[in-house]
Chains A and B, each alone.
Chain A
Amino acid sequence: MIQVVCIKQVADTETRVKVAADGKHLDPAGVTWILNPYYEFAVEQALRVKEKLGAGEVIALSLGGPGVQTTLRNALAMGADRAIHLRHEGAALDSLSVSRLLADAIRPLGAGLIWFGKQAVDDDAAQVGPMTATLLDLPCVTAIATFELEGDQVTVEREVEGAREVVEAKLPAVLTTDKGLNEPRYASLKGIMAAKKKTIEDVAAAPSEPNLEVTALAPPPPRAAGRIVGEGTAAVPVLVKLLREEARVI
């Protein structure tokens, strides 16, 4: 079975956010780029499926500037067989534009399972997985916490408010991964060496008209200055009084 894992490169959450001169986007200078943390769960699960089946191909797919090559190499080092880099430079695209480009790239691959992270930790949009599935007209389960494959059927669990849904779908299917799905492996030294010989196919992406317009990016207004009520247990009655009379939350 062919599996595709969609990977996004994101700014490290520790990065200090500096707004670019246009007032709309992140200033890329000084940003540390990392792999979207959810991606590891997706790659890991795809590799486990391949290992279980004893055959197949795992293809890593990423849309973005030249930097995503590093991201793709990392997936290859973890064990993906080959990679496709959909090349697009310039300001980040909206989720629907990204989904259209990914769907076009995925369609000819004949994949049985297509993996996404639940959300990217930069825009926190949580859109691209279910959007791409809809464009591909494939069943999709989002934010899965468990995964089982039996023949051409997957059974997964997803967490909803106060409950878990057990969902079943036939392949081909699209899944987005939540944290906790598995313990992702680290790339071994052997894997890193092997990755150097694997191919990254380079494909130019041609996005269509934007579907959302970013008009501003700004730091959030500071929270009204808080205060230290006091130290130790002596502060407790004061705290309770403030919560009751000033904040009126208890």
Chain B
Amino acid sequence: MSVLVFIEQRDGQVRPVSREALGEATRIAAAIGGPVIGVCAAAKDPGLAALGEAGADRVLLATSDRFAAYDAEGTAAAVEAAVRGVQPVVVLFAASAMGKDLAPRVAAKLGIGLASDCTKIDPASGGLTATRPVYAGKALQQVRFPKTPALLSLRPKVFAQVSRAGTSASVEPLAVTLPGDGPRARVLRVSAVAGGKVDLTESEIIVSGGRGLKGPENFPLIEELAGALGATVGASRAVVDAGWRPHHDQVGQTGKTVSPKLYVAVGISGAIQHLAGMSSSRCIVAINKDPDAPIFKVADYGVVGDLFEIVPALTAEVKKLNAHG
């Protein structure tokens, strides 16, 4: 009755989303009684033994030079081999760029359904039930799995990591026959996005700006607040479509889905498509001059007024706090 977790690595670094998946795996494993087993595809061991602290009992490692960059088909073959070998009852992926690409392939190979971007898993009630947002977050769908294993991908930043200090995982080689002579879709290079900032989906704090900023020349206001908070800058689609910010900054249904611990929406009205991307944030702050703006319906704390006065004051106040500890 094991739980298998796909361990995502890039450039020899295990991604934080995999620690979140391991954390949830330990909770499921405790309920069903069984080990947590990781499966990783890499050119060389990215320090998998240390994942014992994050909840893994064992990690299966498929090594090949093909895994120096993401090889979708090779990785899918590795996960499939692990599933066939380990016979888990649950397989978890992160709903990250890689997990979203990989999990459906594994599901198709196994001929088993997949619940993607889940925000809650209930292992108890006679078979596992997964909860996932649908219709722009206006409804939650619950699904169950007619076949074993249950395949799920987890929304980043929703599931908590665990810490089992001093525990290490045993790392075991996984034999895989890789398809073809090499990847049919081959990653030629990976270029860092300008600024090298933390990706929105991995950020603890996000400050997003909307059309209320009036123009791209005013975004430094947002950047300064973000700098003081140690936050990443996001944007509404209106702002991205106007060319004020790049597409990778867009939060919302046709942008990124984020769940930071703090989301600050500045000059954003709160259209349903924007809310779809950020309403699972832990704490939401809205700054808007219109007291009837829909963003206030989801905000934990709202400030009504002119952002051009409020944001600089907020930045100053946060800086003051930082200085005094």
Pairing of A with B: yes
Compute how far the CA of A180 lies from the CA of B116 in the bound complex, rounded to whole angstroms: 23
Q: Binary interface profile of A, 227-242, with partner B (CB < 8 Å = 1, else 0)? A: 1111111011101101
Task: Given the known inter-chain contacts A226-B301, A232-B309, A243-B301, please indicate yes or no for A219 contacting B114, CB distance below 8 A.
Answer: no
Total contacts A-B at CB 8 Å? 276
Contacts of A13 in B (CB 8 A): 135-136, 253, 272-273, 276
Q: Are B115 and A122 in contact (CB under 8 A)?
A: no
CB distance from A177 to the nearest CB of B (A): 11
Q: Are A233 and B313 in contact (CB under 8 A)?
A: yes
B47 within 8 A of partner (CB)? no
A223 within 8 A of partner (CB)? yes
Q: Are B301 and A227 in contact (CB under 8 A)?
A: yes
Q: Are B105 and A159 in contact (CB under 8 A)?
A: no
Q: Are A166 and B112 in contact (CB under 8 A)?
A: no
Residue of B nearest to A26 (CB): B135
The total of chain B residues at the interface (CB under 8 A) is: 97
Q: Binary interface profile of A, 100-142, with partner B (CB < 8 Å = 1, else 0)? A: 0000000000000000000001111111111111110011111
Q: Binary interface profile of B, 14-42, with partner A (CB < 8 Å = 1, else 0)? A: 01000000000000000000000000000
Which of A46-54, A63-71, A75-83, A206-214 is near enough to bind chain B? A206-214
CB distance from A121 to the nearest CB of B (A): 6
Query: Which residue in B10, B186, B291, B317 is a CB contact (below 8 Å) of A168?
Result: B186
CB distance from B185 to the nearest CB of A (A): 4
B299 within 8 A of partner (CB)? yes
Q: Binary interface profile of B, 302-314, with partner A (CB < 8 Å = 1, else 0)? A: 1111100110011
Query: Which residue in B113, B129, B273 is a CB contact (below 8 Å) of A210?
Result: B113
B137 within 8 A of partner (CB)? yes
Residue of B nearest to A162 (CB): B199
Q: Are B262 and A125 in contact (CB under 8 A)?
A: no
The total of chain A residues at the interface (CB under 8 A) is: 87
Compute how far the CA of A138 lies from the CA of B113 in the bound complex, rounded to whole angstroms: 20
Task: Given the known inter-chain contacts A127-B116, A131-B104, please indicate yes or no for A226 contacting B302, CB distance below 8 A.
Answer: yes
List the interface of chain A (C-beta within 8 A of B): 11, 13-17, 19, 26, 37-38, 94-96, 99, 121-135, 138-143, 145, 155, 158-170, 173, 178-180, 209-220, 223-224, 226-233, 235-237, 239-240, 242-244, 247, 249-250
Beyond A11-B135, A165-B189, A178-B247, list 5 extra A-B contacts (CB 8 Å).
Answer: A26-B135, A218-B142, A220-B139, A226-B299, A240-B314
30 inter-chain pairs at a CB distance below 8 angstroms, sorted by A residue, are A96-B114, A122-B135, A124-B116, A129-B104, A131-B108, A132-B108, A139-B184, A143-B101, A155-B188, A163-B190, A164-B193, A165-B190, A166-B187, A167-B185, A210-B113, A214-B141, A215-B143, A217-B134, A218-B139, A220-B140, A223-B279, A226-B298, A231-B304, A231-B305, A236-B313, A237-B317, A240-B317, A243-B283, A247-B301, A250-B321
